[in-house]
Amino acid sequence: MTKNRNPQNNTKIIQGKVKKKSKDSKIKLVIGIDEVGRGPVAGPVTICAVLMAQTAYQDFQKSEICEKLRDSKKLSEKKREEWFERIKEYQKEGMLDFAYFNLSAEGIDKFGIVSAIQKCLNKCLEKLDTPIDAKIMLDGGLQAPDKFTNQEAFIKGDANHPIIALASIVAKVNRDNYMKVKVSEYPEYGLETHKGYGTKKHMQAIEKYGLSNFHRKSFLKKFI
């Protein structure tokens, strides 16, 4: 399992800023969560959680830059990279914090994709030291632990809720970059084009070269 560079531990939000160990319990937090990589037959699944103060998120939603935000699936690769750099700047400025986690193909085969996603999601919430009363907004069928009673999942959440879209972008960029790194290790499979999804070209490569350690064998039982 891998994770991003250490975000601040024990974080709270003060006037829209990320601070350490605040005693102010009146600040309400909003967290957006999305996953990338549920469907591929190779590579990890990635979850990201983005945390903002409720007031900061409200201001962000009204901003001109937010109007240009679309979910990561509709952005070009270049635009996603630009947004990711902007998100990292927002983190440095204290406007938000985020955490992402990956679980490898081996982990997915061991636990199953649903449990793998849940483990990554839980780790993100732990890393952000998420308070129990935070408002958690999730994409699709994702679910936070039951102790977080103020949570809601949204169909096409990444397209309709900016904080989920931000999480989607972070997850997508980091998973894609990880897959690009693996191209030199597994050059015969064409990872640079399909990022591990089961395209026709990818499946033909599997038939020719067999399964690698990077493939989800539980997704490709007919090749075992």
Residues 82-110 pLDDT 10s: 999 999 999 999 999 999 999 999 999 99
pLDDT(119) > 50:
yes
pLDDT tier at 116 (50, 70, 90 boundaries)?
very high
Do 128 and 97 touch, CB atoms closer than 8 A? yes
pLDDT tier at 13 (50, 70, 90 boundaries)?
very low
Do 72 and 132 touch, CB atoms closer than 8 A? no
Give the pLDDT of residue 206.
97
- For 18-72, how does the pLDDT look when each residue is reduced to its tens digit (9 = 90+)? 554 444 556 699 999 999 999 999 999 999 999 999 999 999 999 999 988 866 7
Torsion of CA 131, 152, 123, 119, to 10 degrees: 150
For residue 193, what is the enclosing H or E element?
helix 191-194
CA angle, corner 170, sides to 168 and 171, nearest 5?
65
CA angle, corner 83, sides to 184 and 99, nearest 5?
75
DSSP, res 75: S
Do 139 and 157 touch, CB atoms closer than 8 A? yes
Give the pLDDT of residue 7.
36
Query: Which CATH superfamily hosts domain 2-223?
Result: Ribonuclease H-like superfamily/Ribonuclease H (3.30.420.10)
- For 156-207, how does the pLDDT look when each residue is reduced to its tens digit (9 = 90+)? 999 999 999 999 999 999 999 999 999 999 999 999 999 999 999 999 999 9
Domain regions of the chain by residue span: 2-223
pLDDT(15) > 50:
no
pLDDT(11) > 90:
no
Give the pLDDT of residue 73.
75
Single pTM value for the model: 0.88
Do 30 and 163 touch, CB atoms closer than 8 A? yes
Do 34 and 167 touch, CB atoms closer than 8 A? yes
Phi and psi at residue 103, to the nearest 5°? -125, 130
Pairing of strands 97-103, 2-3: antiparallel
Q: Dihedral of CA 21/25/26/29: which sign?
A: positive
